[in-house]
Amino acid sequence: MPIYRDKERGCFVFEFDRRINKRRIRVRKHLPRDWNRAQADKFDRQEGERLYGIASGVISRTYTIDEAVKVYLQEKKHLKSYIEAARHLAQVMWAYNKKPIDQLPEVAALIVKKDAHLAPATLKNRISLLRAACRWAWKKHGMAGSDPAARLQVPKVQNERHVYIEVGDLHRMLRHVPHKDIRMVMVAAFYTGMRLSEILRSQIQGDALVVHDTKNGAAIKSVPMHPALKRYLKEWPPKHKKSTVQKWQRITRSKTGLDHVNFHDLRHSTASGLINSGADLYMVGQVLGHKDPRSTQRYAHLKHDTMLAALSKIGKKVA
């Protein structure tokens, strides 16, 4: 019999054992303990028909999100962010485990509701990873009939910083840094707009700082060196680690009354300096290495301010 009671566990057991198209299909599953005989028989009929339809090719198999995640993690181990991605996906397994892949939008809505205490950026990251996993399974392995993320809404995050410093602020900070190579790193960040991780693995080639394998996946990134930067870069690459550079930047910003300035704000200051010098947003995006033009739009207000200052001079007498 396909349905029988397991006396030790106190529940019904479903069994499917058929030979279909020269293939033997065997499935065994313990049903919930509170189910009665009628519920168990109903499940037997429905699940038996579904399994027979899948095995015979009459209906397509319904894959689950956890199956999509498993495939995605198996095939994305080369990513630099693999460990972090696996950790985030594991944190929300409670929401997607055993759920059909076409229920991705509902799963995402559940995560947003239940994990509302988390930072918006964290929620966005986890849902974006689920979307990437399900789309990979759909496109590469046919694990869905259509795009499972078609109805998905990813939370929006408004965490843009608009903190910029001038060259005078940079020099004030440098006075409190005892290590020469850390001073070089800070000057490089201000005059190139490179990320800290990029600077630490960059090389000097001619009159440019060059870094390979950048965050956005480009094969190479090259930024011409400002004359002031050339005077600083005597010994390269830097010897100190990322954490050490960040520690001294925190110390020096405190001593100069610039507690609101993070190391990454040196990169933003590069964009500010470029725009104030007349560069357009396209050039800013090229220098900073933005793959998506929308990333450069955060500096659009600076371009507006520059244009406003220029227009305000119309009609004024020249000294």
Tell me: do 89 and 27 sit in the same domain.
no
Tell me: do 85 and 217 sit in the same domain.
no
Tell me: do 93 and 172 sit in the same domain.
no
Residue at 213 is within a domain: yes
Tell me: do 132 and 197 sit in the same domain.
no
Tell me: do 275 and 216 sit in the same domain.
yes
Tell me: do 224 and 291 sit in the same domain.
yes
Q: Which long-range contacts (CB under 8 A, 24 or more apart) does 149-157 make?
A: 149/104, 149/105, 151/105, 152/104, 152/105, 152/108, 152/127, 153/105, 153/108, 153/109, 154/108, 154/124, 154/127, 154/128, 155/112, 155/120, 155/123, 155/124, 155/127, 156/120, 156/124, 157/120, 157/121, 157/124
Residue 253 tokens, joined:
């910003």
Tell me: do 52 and 69 sit in the same domain.
no
Residue at 284 is within a domain: yes
Residue at 69 is within a domain: yes
pLDDT the model gives residue 59: 55
Residue at 194 is within a domain: yes
Residue at 146 is within a domain: no
Q: Give the CATH number for residue 282.
A: 1.10.443.10
Q: Which of 93, 123, 141 is the last residue of a domain?
A: 141
Tell me: do 120 and 191 sit in the same domain.
no
Mean pLDDT by 10 residues, the chain (319 residues): 83 87 83 90 85 69 89 90 92 93 93 88 91 93 86 75 80 88 88 86 86 61 84 81 88 86 83 74 73 66 62 60
Residue at 316 is within a domain: no
Task: Provide the terminal-to-terminal Cα distance of the chain, rounded to the nearest Å.
Answer: 102
* Adjacent-strand bridge partners of 16: 27
Q: Rounded distance, CA 186 to CA 258, Å?
A: 15
Tell me: do 291 and 178 sit in the same domain.
yes
pLDDT the model gives residue 90: 95
Residue at 155 is within a domain: no
pLDDT the model gives residue 287: 77
Tell me: do 225 and 283 sit in the same domain.
yes
pLDDT the model gives residue 68: 94
What's the domain range around 91? Answer: 65-141
pLDDT tens by residue, 63-87: 899 999 999 999 999 888 899 999 9
Residue at 283 is within a domain: yes
Tell me: do 194 and 109 sit in the same domain.
no
Tell me: do 134 and 172 sit in the same domain.
no
pLDDT the model gives residue 174: 87
Query: Considering its fold, how many domains does the chain have in total?
Result: 3
